[in-house]
Homo-oligomer: A and B are copies of this chain.
Amino acid sequence: MKFTIKNSLFTAIVSELHKICSNKSLLPILSGIKIEANDAGVVLTGGNSELFIEKKIPLQIKGETVVQVHEAGSVVVVSKHFMNLLKKLPDDIEISSDHMQAVLIKSGDIVTRLNGLAAVDYPKLPEIKILHSVEVEFSSLKDVIKQTIFAVSKSEAKPVLTGVKMEFDKNKLICTATDSHRLSRRAIQITFPEGSHSVIVPSKSLMELLHLKEPSFATVHISIANQMILFSIENTILYSILIEGNYPNTQSLIPTDFVTKVTTNTRALMAGIDRACVFSEEWKHNNVHLSLIDNSILKITTNSAGIGMIEEQQKTSKVDGIPAIDMTFDGRFFLEALKGIQEEQVTISFCGVMKPAVIEPENDASYVQLISPLRT
């Protein structure tokens, strides 16, 4: 194998893959990046036991030649040293490997030799039979993931809750995540003519999908196989395993009746809850208390005997139902819920003692969040 490549481009891609290469795997080869050079350019693959990312670098990008392949071939290089070295080399580099897997990296008067591994030993991606296929804009997909992924369970006790449920149903993609204390559900329009299908995708894989440096306007081709999902965007393919198991029925959890409904400015409420979380390191649950004064002013209070007290008052836009609230929430959960809301106004429906509150953008039923109150 032998090729010449623009280093800035190459290093950026190696860095992206390095982040997902596992250093602690039983398979040491997974700490490496597979490099393949062929007639069409260079293909880099990195991954761990849950996901793989494959990146194609074509010979030309926007008319400019970025790769010249002198000899086809493949090799695996330990990603850490490779990346650290590349960062410190000038822009034009030549990479070659011999039959002993010695990888030679040349750049001007700098010659580096790294011990490589045989590409044939790199795990092969399973042959997969695509069951369903969907197209969606990358920016929309990123939004719907960001608006739900924070609510997944951080504990491995119930593996299904560590993933995001993706439901493809009647021209809709509905993402749901819950850790049983809070829930986030968002729907977007897609074209999915093939009935309905739902999968649970590991949150780690979706996090890597969010980090992909592909343009936001690009189209993502989602392909679902039996135990795997593929996201294909421009020159990148992300392969992820799926989580097996039954996702709880979350529809029944969403209250349909409310006692008090408050509509207020999203950013102002976020800033207030954020301030109320200042002492949060100090005790386990970061209790933020909400109440109403004069039927229209929202009072946000936090109180720690040892440290002090924070209190602030915010004018609300509208109060429906009975104008009385006296509830305590985990401030961090509340903050994360509000972060997902892009609309100027947010509606919070309080549904009675110890029942979850419903947080929604005003006049938008496609995004629903639940937060359970805390016992005080």
A278 to B114 CA separation, bound complex (whole angstroms): 11
A309 to B103 CA separation, bound complex (whole angstroms): 10
A88 to B314 CA separation, bound complex (whole angstroms): 16
The stretch of A46-54, A78-86, A163-171, A214-222 that contacts the partner chain = A78-86
A78 to B308 CA separation, bound complex (whole angstroms): 11
Contacts of A311 in B (CB 8 A): 110-112
Q: CB-CB contacts of A305-316 with B at 8 A, as 1s and 0s? A: 011111111100
A81 to B280 CA separation, bound complex (whole angstroms): 10
Given contacts A81-B279, A279-B81, contact A274 B310 (CB under 8 A): no
Q: Is A132 an interface residue (CB 8 A)?
A: no
Whole-angstrom distance between the Cβ of A280 and the nearest chain B Cβ: 9
Chain A interfacial residues counted at CB < 8 A: 29
Tell me if B114 and A308 are in contact (CB < 8 A). yes
Q: Is A115 an interface residue (CB 8 A)?
A: yes
Q: List 7 A-B contacts (CB under 8 A).
A: A81-B278, A81-B307, A84-B278, A109-B314, A110-B275, A111-B312, A114-B307
Whole-angstrom distance between the Cβ of A112 and the nearest chain B Cβ: 5
Q: Which residues of A line the B interface, CB within 8 A?
A: 78, 81, 84-85, 88-89, 103, 109-115, 271-272, 274-275, 278-279, 306-314
A307 to B114 CA separation, bound complex (whole angstroms): 6
Most buried by B among A115, A278, A314: A278
The 5 closest A-B pairs by CB, nearest first: A114-B308, A110-B312, A88-B275, A113-B309, A109-B313
Nearest residue, chain B, Cβ from A312? B110
A149 to B103 CA separation, bound complex (whole angstroms): 40
